[in-house]
Structure 1
Amino acid sequence: MAPSQTFVALGSGFASASAWAAMAWGLAFFAAIYVLLCGGNWLLTRHLLPALRIGRRIDPEPLRDGQIRYELLLSALSILIFGIGTILPWAFLQLGWARLASDPGPVQVAVEMLALLVWNDIHFYANHRLLHTRWLRRFHVQHHRSLVTTPFSTYSFHPLEAILLGNVILLPMLLHDFSFAALLSLPVMSLLLNNLGHSNYDFAPAAGHDHWLSASRRHHLHHTRYHGNYGFLFNFMDGWFGTRLPEEPPPTTAGTAPE
């Protein structure tokens, strides 16, 4: 079976599954990509790349006591919320509010993936700015307890933040009949690239401040300065709304706390 048809079959199976099966599938999916991508990024940035002398660690400060355990516990809660939340796109399909593309070609899938990637950046920026308002910052502060970030910080959210960020797929599904492959790619791309931002590792020190590989430097500035650099992978939203932090030597996080 061709890959495109395999995803079509998977999409049909998901749409026809029971509600409990859809949530169980979502829980397994989000847990699997978290373990593979976050664990893989930890091995890459803490062992393989330093051994090969590729890139460099951004902030040399040690992690706070119990940080990894704290991040893993919050991440497990976020994965549970994302898994249960799978019921919403499933319900959209059941109710006929959304449909899956029946015969998507590779070009269509690629264009949809790119569109969802850009939408993810817009959605993330809007919700991230909201989480930094005085009304919601008490929820977002849990994420900012990771002053020195790790790949496991990526899903380290308060439940409210997990709900806000986890609804990224809903509006696009109402507006367009996406391929199941493109819909599946969104959480994978989101987690993979969010790992880049939270890796505390400069993969390309020679790259410019606005280069996508510099997302780790930009997001490190966000965690040390708290205000500014609210974007995800790209920098265009921060540029449009005047929240772009200027490039500067990487500061340490000692003594830094949300304001």
Structure 2
Amino acid sequence: MDTVLDLADEYLFDAYHVYPESWENGYWARQLLSLFLITISSGILVYISSAAFNYYFLFDHRLERHPLFLKNQKWLEITTSLKILPVIGVFTAAMFLVEVRGYSKLFDGPPQPGSFGLLLNIRDIVGFIFFTDCAIYWIHRAMHHRLLYRRIHKMHHIWKVPTPFASHAFHPIDGFLQSVPYHLYPFMFPLNKYVYLVLFFLVNVWTISIHDGDYRVPAILRPFINGSAHHTDHHLYYNYNYGQYFTLWDRIGGSFKTPSAFEGKSLVDDILEKERLKTGHQD
């Protein structure tokens, strides 16, 4: 985040004299406040733009006719997210501050050139995805423990039939804890800072995508990818499909469930069947 912070200082905070002159660029309080403003503004922008795109172009709007879909649910999801994201932003900015002040293993410079450099970059990306996928699985599963679920995670499960806007509508502690692995990785393993920024952005987009009700996945990848179909069943049946990207840890942990949508029992099929029966009864 130091690269982003430097750009923000040059083109925004310094250019428009946002801070008192006594607040030098390296002053920790200034850095923390700047990181909070950057985090919350970019987070809301990514959330609104990506969720809106998925909602209008990918989400099956017939799902809004499901009896478990709440009245005004889309707006409830949005307002809940916008209230909670600034709280999460405080914790996230604090993590970024530690990284910016040089305590992480992020390294500078463009991705390493050449075939060997490419292999190193791929290794780092695979390591990041593998580590975060494993850690988030166990954190998410812990959130379903009876001592934590009612107090923290239940807030996210009021959306039984989620839209993409539900992706960030959760308790702030829940949201932050599930993001901790992304912050923790660069303190444990070397990672190119530009690769890290891209991965951190894509993580947020992926989180939105698994709530978009678009179950299309190439058949060959269905056993491995934890997509929207898997996560829809998680919202409905609670104790299955905790994974983030892949089904590996659900299979290892005994919590894997083949998505109902892949077995011809999707929520849309239920809606159409009930409406058909209702129309037939009226006739």
- TM-score of the aligned structures, taking structure 2 as reference length: 0.73
Q: Which whole-Å CA distance do the structure 1 matches of 2:238 and 2:73 have between them?
A: 19
Aligned 1:20-169 pairs, distance under 5 A = 20-46=33-59, 61=66, 63-93=69-99, 95-105=101-111, 107=118, 108-138=120-150, 139-169=152-182
Structure 2 contact 5–34 (Cα < 8 Å) conserved: no
The structure-2 alpha-carbon separation of the partners of 1:11 and 1:100, relative to structure 1 and needing over 3 Å to count, comes to: farther
How big is the shift at 1:252? 4.0
How big is the shift at 1:180? 2.2
Q: Which whole-Å CA distance do the structure 1 matches of 2:235 and 2:220 have between them?
A: 20
Residue 249 of structure 2: aligned partner: 237
Task: Please identify, of 25-34 and 169-178, the stretch whose mean Cα deviation from structure 2 is larger.
Answer: 169-178
The structure-2 alpha-carbon separation of the partners of 1:179 and 1:78, relative to structure 1 and needing over 3 Å to count, comes to: farther
The structure-2 alpha-carbon separation of the partners of 1:12 and 1:122, relative to structure 1 and needing over 3 Å to count, comes to: farther
Residue 210 of structure 1: aligned partner: 223
The structure-2 alpha-carbon separation of the partners of 1:231 and 1:60, relative to structure 1 and needing over 3 Å to count, comes to: farther
Once the two structures are superposed, what CA deviation does each residue of 1:184-221 show, in whole Å capped at 9, x if it has no partner?
22332222222221111222475564142x61111111
Q: Which whole-Å CA distance do the structure 2 matches of 1:186 and 1:168 have between them?
A: 12
Mind listing any 5+ residue stretches in structure 1 that lack a counterpart?
A: 1-6, 51-56, 255-259
Once the two structures are superposed, what CA deviation does each residue of 1:123-176 show, in whole Å capped at 9, x if it has no partner?
221111011000011121111111111101100101221221132233212113
How big is the shift at 1:109? 4.6
Once the two structures are superposed, what CA deviation does each residue of 1:13-56 show, in whole Å capped at 9, x if it has no partner?
57956221111111111111111211111122148xx9xxxxxx
Q: Which whole-Å CA distance do the structure 2 matches of 1:44 and 1:192 have between them?
A: 15
RMSD after superposition: 3.0
Mind listing any 5+ residue stretches in structure 2 that lack a counterpart?
A: 9-24, 113-117, 271-283
Q: Which whole-Å CA distance do the structure 1 matches of 2:230 and 2:75 have between them?
A: 25
Higher relative contact order (CA 8 A, sep 6+): 1
Residue 10 of structure 1: aligned partner: 4
Q: Which whole-Å CA distance do the structure 2 matches of 1:59 and 1:221 have between them?
A: 16
Greater fraction of residues in helix: 2
Q: How many corresponding residue pairs?
A: 239
Give the share of equivalent positions with the same residue, in percent: 20
Residue 226 of structure 1: aligned partner: 238
Structure 1 contact 121–233 (Cα < 8 Å) conserved: yes
Structure 1 contact 8–179 (Cα < 8 Å) conserved: no
Aligned to 2:106, the other structure's residue is in SS state coil
Matched letter for residue 54 of structure 2: N
Q: Which whole-Å CA distance do the structure 1 matches of 2:80 and 2:241 have between them?
A: 23
